[in-house]
């Protein structure tokens, strides 16, 4: 499906978006990738949505990416005898392993690994940071705290521990079951929550194998601190600003977002900016001006994708939310300032032949009348490198691998076409010319750039660049062999 924008849109599915009609409408409105949130719904629910997505993909002959988002370990307090209590500023409050229902002085925290890592002075945040506790004394089975920000604390509220790296694996037992289930379905991307270190990503990769690409969610201070190492072992990144804004000072999140997006682009790995992008549209058909500016900012920064969560999963206006994102993206990308910002932030690092080929393709396309860059790719690497360049012309990824086409739906500007296996470069040129014409990017009188690697269907062999006419008769005339 042809899009008149380059940034991709990820839409989360849920109770408000589970039917064939709604999922198809969301894709037609602009959703390129669908997110299946493993925190909500049964395996039967997830499987049903997955099946519908694949049916929509087949009916519209349009590759669709599917991202399964693992829940990660959830740190929560226990229950209170009265259901909730009011904590006053300056009061003393204890967290412990005792299963007895809590009161205004204490409550269970059934996570001994937290107590093992805590030290006096550490901060504990409860209920998305609405309640802030400062540890004054701790042992292996309890922590005595002073209330620094009070309020209502109730059953099973979440706990964040921003000051320490917890000895907690990113994959819980539930996550392991969900990972195997999702990979068995045939999802394309696997989002990993609670990442603190590169080892967390490596563990998930061992379990997933080559069945799914691994996307690390950056939502903890330790993940920001170890970001370069995490990026190196990940296939993609999600800047999960919700938890990040709880565990770090909220004013630090925008510059962190900008740094992470730029590093991902330099590494040619897709980055999603997520959380609360159009949150008011859960209940309103119109976004706030601040939300539109937030979405615009992520696009100006060069993010590969922007994401809707509850807006499309449980909101009253899922189609309107996707349409709004689509319209904002088109408006930003048509702004001359956008192009100047994107080009000013382009990485100049060139280390391989493939880097040189895609940089040359972009330069040729921008200095001559080239209508598209067509790249033949088996693994998706060539298309990812071209996307890193953020060229002014469309990127058409030709691949014989349906799985590769689906994964590339997350990359900036890439339009995916399923092509047959190739034996000769001439056929690659012919197929590229046909695809450019069929997608409406070029006519017979136009020219395109074609990149490929010979031998074909072998990852990491990008070594050919050719400027070719879109008229097949000219291709055969100039390249009869």
- Write down which residue in 98, 131, 160 finishes a domain: 160
Nearest residue to 375 (alpha-carbon basis) of 186, 360, 366, 367: 360
Between the CA of residue 372 and those of 49, 432, 440, what are the distances in Å? 34, 9, 10
Same domain, 140 and 258: no
Phi first, then psi: what are they for 472, rounded to 5°? -60, -30
Segment-wise mean pLDDT, segments of 10 residues, the chain, 481 residues: 93 97 98 96 96 97 97 93 96 97 96 93 93 96 96 94 88 96 98 96 96 97 96 98 91 96 96 96 97 97 97 97 98 96 82 89 93 93 94 95 96 93 82 93 94 74 87 69 49
| 273 bridge partner residues | 239, 306
Same domain, 299 and 206: yes
Q: What is the CATH number of the domain that holds 378?
A: 3.40.1380.20
Per-residue model confidence (pLDDT) at position 480: 47
Same domain, 107 and 68: no
Same domain, 236 and 130: no
Per-residue model confidence (pLDDT) at position 33: 98
Token readout for 18 is 């589970």
Same domain, 301 and 191: yes
Q: What is the CATH number of the domain that holds 106?
A: 2.40.33.10
Same domain, 235 and 324: yes
Q: Would you give the distance in Å from CA 108 to the centre of its chain?
A: 35
Signed CA dihedral, 290, 296, 298, 301: sign only: negative
Question: Which strands form 447-453's sheet, in the order they lie side by side?
Answer: 414-418, 395-399, 370-376, 447-453, 462-469
The model's pTM is 0.93
Q: Looking at the domain assignment, is residue 369 inside a domain?
A: yes
User: Rounded to whole angstroms, how far apart are CA atoms 216 and 69?
Assistant: 10
Per-residue model confidence (pLDDT) at position 423: 73
- Write down which residue in 107, 128, 160 finishes a domain: 160
Number of domains in the chain: 3
User: Rounded to whole angstroms, how far apart are CA atoms 101 and 459?
Assistant: 58
Same domain, 150 and 236: no
- Write down which residue in 107, 140, 160 finishes a domain: 160
Q: How many CB atoms lie within 10 A of CB 184?
A: 11
Same domain, 68 and 100: no
Show which residues are catalytic.
35, 76, 217, 275
Q: Looking at the domain assignment, is residue 205 inside a domain?
A: yes
Same domain, 35 and 180: yes
Q: How many CB atoms lie within 10 A of CB 91?
A: 14
Q: Looking at the domain assignment, is residue 3 inside a domain?
A: no
Angle at 310 between CA 305 and CA 311, to 5 degrees: 70
Same domain, 204 and 292: yes
Token readout for 214 is 């691994």
Q: Looking at the domain assignment, is residue 376 inside a domain?
A: yes
Is the peptide bond preceding residue 455 cis, with omega within 30 degrees of 0? yes
Same domain, 310 and 382: no
Q: Would you give the distance in Å from CA 143 to the centre of its chain?
A: 36
Same domain, 267 and 384: no
| Residue 209 structural domain | 8-73+170-329
User: Rounded to whole angstroms, how far apart are CA atoms 477 and 475?
Assistant: 5
């Amino acid at each position: 499906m042809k899009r008149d924008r380059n940034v991709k849109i990820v839409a989360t599915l849920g109770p408000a978006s589970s039917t064939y009609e709604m999922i198809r409408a969301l894709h037609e409105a602009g959703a390129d990738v669908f997110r299946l949130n493993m925190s909500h719904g049964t395996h039967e629910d997830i499987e049903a949505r997955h099946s519908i997505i694949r049916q929509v993909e087949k009916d519209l002959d349009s590759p669709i990416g599917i991202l399964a988002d693992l829940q990660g370990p959830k740190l929560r307090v226990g229950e209170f005898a009265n259901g909730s209590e009011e904590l006053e500023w300056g009061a003393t409050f204890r967290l412990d392993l005792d299963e007895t229902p809590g009161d205004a002085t204490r409550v269970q925290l059934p996570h001994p690994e937290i107590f093992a890592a805590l030290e006096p002075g550490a901060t504990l945040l409860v209920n998305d940071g609405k309640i802030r506790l400062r540890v004054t004394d701790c042992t292996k089975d309890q922590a005595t705290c002073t209330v620094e920000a009070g309020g209502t604390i109730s059953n099973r509220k979440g706990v964040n521990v921003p000051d320490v790296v917890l000895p907690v694996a990113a994959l819980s037992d539930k996550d392991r079951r969900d990972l195997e289930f999702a990979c068995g379905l045939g999802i394309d991307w696997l989002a990993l929550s609670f990442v603190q270190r590169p080892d967390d990503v490596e563990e998930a990769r061992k379990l997933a194998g080559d069945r799914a690409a691994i996307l690390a969610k950056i939502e903890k201070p330790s993940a920001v601190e170890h970001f370069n190492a995490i990026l190196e072992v990940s296939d993609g990144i999600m800047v999960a600003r919700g938890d990040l804004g709880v565990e770090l000072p909220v004013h630090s999140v925008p510059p962190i977002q900008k740094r992470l997006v730029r590093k991902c682009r330099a590494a040619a790995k897709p980055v999603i900016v997520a959380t609360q992008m159009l949150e008011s549209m859960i209940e309103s058909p119109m976004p706030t001006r601040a939300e539109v500016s937030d979405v615009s900012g992520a696009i100006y920064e060069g993010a590969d994708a922007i994401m809707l969560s509850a807006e499309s999963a449980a909101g009253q206006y899922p189609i309107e939310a996707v349409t709004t994102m689509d319209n904002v993206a088109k408006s930003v990308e048509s702004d001359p300032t956008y192009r100047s910002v994107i080009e000013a932030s382009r990485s100049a690092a060139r280390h391989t032949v493939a880097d040189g080929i895609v940089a040359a393709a972009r330069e040729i396309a921008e200095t001559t009348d080239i209508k598209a860059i067509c790249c033949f790719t088996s693994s998706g690497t060539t298309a990812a490198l071209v996307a890193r360049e953020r060229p002014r012309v469309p990127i058409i990824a030709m691949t014989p691998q349906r799985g590769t086409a689906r994964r590339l739906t997350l990359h900036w500007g890439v339009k995916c076409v399923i092509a047959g296996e190739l034996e000769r470069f001439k056929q690659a040129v012919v197929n590229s010319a046909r695809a450019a014409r069929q997608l409406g990017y070029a006519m017979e009188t136009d020219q395109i750039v074609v990149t490929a690697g010979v031998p074909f269907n072998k990852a990491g062999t990008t070594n050919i660049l050719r400027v070719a006419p879109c008229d097949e008769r000219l291709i055969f005339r100039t390249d009869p062999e």
